[in-house]
Amino acid sequence: MSSKKAASSGLSSLRLVVAAGKATPTPPVGPALGQRGIRGMEFCKLFNDRTANLVPGTPIPVRMLIKPDRTYTFTTHTPQTSWLLKQAAGIEKGASKAGEEVVGQVSVKAIYEIAKIKQRDLPHLSLEELSRMIAGSTRSMGIKVVM
């Protein structure tokens, strides 16, 4: 999680990764919000409502913009590409030495499906460009692409 202060506008931003439908005001979410004067229970209820349609426990990146009066807005993003690839390959973690070991495999169709998911966050990229980027991630994670 990280925080930045936008100097000229008085806004601060906060980035969190929260499990879909399972946000609670306990660490790490509660303390991160409490430091900025945000009520954790309020955020958790809003976040859980917004992510109710997702598979519970899916790690969702969140970006919050917090105003000086302690009001805020937040946007949710798609899960990290590495998480989606691990789910598609059915593995717990990627290779410790990329290029030297293969820990799983994914189909070209799975890469395309992940690209369609990621296009929500990156609409300026084509599905082909996203698919190429995701295929590059498979190599660095030790995941083999199969037809």
Which one, of 58, 86, 84, lies nearest residue 142 by Cα? 86
Taken in order of first residue, the domains within the chain and their CATH numbers are 12-76 (3.30.1550.10), 81-145 (1.10.10.250)
Per-residue model confidence as pLDDT tens digits over 25-34: 999 899 999 9
Place of tokens 């309020």: 42
CA distance 117 to 125: 12
Asked whether the beta carbons of 54 and 113 are under 8 A apart, the reply is: no
Per-residue model confidence as pLDDT tens digits over 53-68: 999 999 999 999 999 9
CA distance 45 to 82: 27
The DSSP output letter for 3 is E
Per-residue model confidence as pLDDT tens digits over 90-143: 999 988 887 788 999 999 999 999 999 999 999 999 999 999 999 999 999 999
Average pLDDT over residues 13-25: 95
CA distance 21 to 106: 27
Helix axes 127-141, 108-118, angle to 10 degrees: 120
Q: What is the pTM of this model?
A: 0.85
Q: Quick one: tokens of 84?
A: 């989606």
Residue 30 Cα distances to 20, 23, 27, 36, 71, angstroms: 16, 9, 5, 10, 16
Q: Quick one: tokens of 29?
A: 């979410």
